[in-house]
């Protein structure tokens, strides 16, 4: 598994190869993305979608790159803590350690 630094270095390259995928998204979500994209400085809704995916991916990779947080997450799940609460706790822990 690549380190976070290796992943970030690769993601900063502009010449990364792209692949085409097909994904079903509700029409109203696409309309919202099309409206938001120029207001947020994006050339279209697809770059905005890629930005959202990248943000979520970085967040999850950073969280999973910290074994102590992974252990905490598993323990909280075993104790029946809801997923949204776990996410909030892990986000807060990540922000405090940054």
Which whole-number Å values give the CA distances from 30 to 18, 20, 37, 40, 45, in the listed order? 21, 17, 10, 15, 8
Taking the whole predicted model, whether its pTM rises above 0.75 is answered as no
| Number of Cβ atoms within 10 Å of the Cβ of 42 | 16
| pLDDT score at 1 | 64
Distance CA 67, CA 70 (A): 5
pLDDT digit string (tens) for 37-96?
999 999 999 999 999 998 898 888 877 777 777 788 888 889 999 988 888 887 787 677
Select from 57, 63, 61, 35 the least CA-distant residue to 48.
35
Select from 52, 46, 66 the least CA-distant residue to 3.
66
Which whole-number Å values give the CA distances from 62 to 10, 19, 52, 65, in the listed order? 15, 24, 16, 5
């Amino acid at each position: 598994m690549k380190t976070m630094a290796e992943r970030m270095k690769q993601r900063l390259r502009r010449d990364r190869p792209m692949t085409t995928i097909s994904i079903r998204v509700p029409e109203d979500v696409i309309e919202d993305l099309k409206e938001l994209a120029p207001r947020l400085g994006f050339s279209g809704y697809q770059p905005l979608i890629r930005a959202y995916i990248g943000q979520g991916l970085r967040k999850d990779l950073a969280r999973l790159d910290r074994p102590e947080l992974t252990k905490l997450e598993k323990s909280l799940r075993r104790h029946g803590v809801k997923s949204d609460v776990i996410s909030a706790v892990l986000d807060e822990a990540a922000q405090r350690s940054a």
